[in-house]
């Protein structure tokens, strides 16, 4: 069952762990504006994803009780490279203490999916750990490639993000929901609109429209634990175009503060990735 009773949820440590893991989430509680205290911190307004619907979406985390604790999402960009948020791989954890789970929809269902060890972690060289959501993109090279991997595709490099304004996209993850006191282990998805940059101006200097997307719909948003996961649209031919990476937000589903996503069409993000040797390697692998 994907839903636990409130009592079990209180005892279940997944919720606690999400809290701890998200310390690495940029914009911790201290960065919240006063008004955000009243906002329910909970993929908000989502619905259940059926088993196997989004096979390109993976869980990113660390070993826990012979399985994985996945505090973040990620996506397969090649059979051996997972793309996620830089802040999801931003702690000083070595690669051998990281894990990725592929092929799982109910995140605690140890009977499904496959655990993958990590060979190398690459953060964007310009990511400035925790102080700003700029360049919040990172990569995990798996020790073994995923067999028959389902991959995402990326938007044209150099496309201005406002060209996509008004588009209805999907965001999915295992992060916090708006169900009070229950933990949803099943992947959730919500449809969110790409908003004009002016809608995120409340973030001030934290928001850079050349590097980020501003997205949300009334009562729908990503939230803590969804980081690193995808904002995407499904083309007519069924191809997944991933436009953004869940990155940052003040509160969740607050109309004044929509979600901020790393904009994957940004030429700057890909060009500056080459400023580190590891970044250059990833850039070449992705032919970006």
Active site residues: 87, 136, 227
Q: Should residue 193 be labelled a site residue for ligand ARG when binding is judged by CB under 6 A?
A: no
If binding means CB under 6 A, how many residues of this protein chain bind ligand ARG? 16
Cα gap 207→201, rounded to integer Å: 7
Q: Rounded CA gap, 13 and 241, in Å?
A: 34
Residue nearest to ligand ARG (CB): 249
Pairing mode, strands 230-234 and 168-173: antiparallel
Closer Cβ to ligand ARG, 139 or 248, answer by number: 248
Q: In whole angstroms, how far apart are CA 158 and each of 53, 69, 155, 199, 268? A: 30, 35, 9, 22, 8
Does residue 242 belong to the site contacting ligand ARG (CB under 6 A)?
no
Stretch that binds ligand ARG, among 21-29, 48-56, 112-120, 182-190 (CB under 6 A): 21-29
- Residue 188 interacting with ligand ARG (CB under 6 A): no
Distance CA 229, CA 57 (A): 7
Span near ligand ARG by CB under 6 A; candidates 61-69, 110-118, 248-256, 276-284? 248-256
Compute CA distances 171 → 114, 181, 190, 233, 241, whole Å.
23, 22, 6, 9, 12
- Which residue in this structure is represented by tokens 């994985």? 68
Tokens of 203: 């973030």
Work out whether 81 is an interface residue with ligand ARG (CB under 6 A). Answer: no
Q: Using CB under 6 A, which of 252, 264, 273, 282 touches ligand ARG?
A: 252
User: By CB under 6 A, is residue 225 in contact with ligand ARG?
Assistant: yes
Least CB distance from residue 242 to ligand ARG, whole Å?
Answer: 16
Q: Is 22 among the residues that bind ligand ARG (CB under 6 A)?
A: yes
Tell me the C-alpha distance between 176 and 223, whole Å.
6
Judged by CB under 6 A, does residue 243 bind ligand ARG? Answer: no
Q: Decide if residue 90 touches ligand ARG (CB under 6 A).
A: no
* Residue 259 binding ligand ARG, by CB under 6 A: yes
Per the CB < 8 A criterion, the answer to whether 122 and 72 are in contact is: no
**Contacts to ligand ARG by CB under 6 A:** 22, 25-26, 175, 221-227, 246, 248-249, 252, 259
């Amino acid at each position: 069952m994907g839903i636990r009773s409130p009592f079990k949820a209180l005892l279940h440590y997944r919720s606690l762990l999400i809290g701890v893991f998200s310390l690495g989430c940029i914009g911790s509680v201290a960065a919240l504006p006063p008004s955000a205290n009243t906002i329910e911190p909970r993929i908000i307004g989502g619905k259940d994803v059926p088993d196997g619907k989004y096979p390109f979406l993976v869980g990113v985390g660390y070993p826990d009780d012979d399985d994985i604790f996945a505090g973040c999402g990620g996506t397969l960009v090649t059979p051996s490279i997972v793309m996620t948020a830089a802040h999801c791989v931003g702690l000083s954890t070595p690669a051998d203490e990281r894990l990725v789970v592929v092929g799982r929809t109910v995140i605690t269902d140890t009977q499904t999916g496959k655990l993958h060890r990590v060979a190398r972690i690459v953060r964007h060289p310009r990511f400035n750990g925790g102080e700003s959501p700029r360049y919040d993109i990172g990569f995990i090279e798996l020790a073994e490639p995923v067999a028959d991997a389902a991959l995402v595709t990326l938007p044209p490099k150099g496309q201005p993000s406002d060209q996509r304004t008004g588009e209805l996209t999907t965001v999915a993850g295992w992060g916090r929901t708006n169900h009070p006191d229950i933990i949803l282990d099943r992947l959730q998805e919500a449809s969110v609109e790409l908003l004009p940059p002016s809608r995120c101006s409340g973030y001030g200097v934290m928001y850079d429209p050349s590097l980020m997307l501003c997205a949300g719909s009334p009562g729908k948003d990503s939230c803590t634990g969804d980081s690193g996961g995808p904002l995407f649209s499904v083309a007519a031919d069924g191809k997944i175009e991933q436009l953004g990476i869940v990155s940052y937000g003040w509160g969740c589903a607050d109309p004044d503060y929509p979600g901020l996503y790393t904009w994957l069409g940004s030429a700057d993000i890909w060009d500056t990735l080459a400023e580190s040797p590891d970044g250059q390697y990833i850039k070449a692998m992705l032919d970006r």
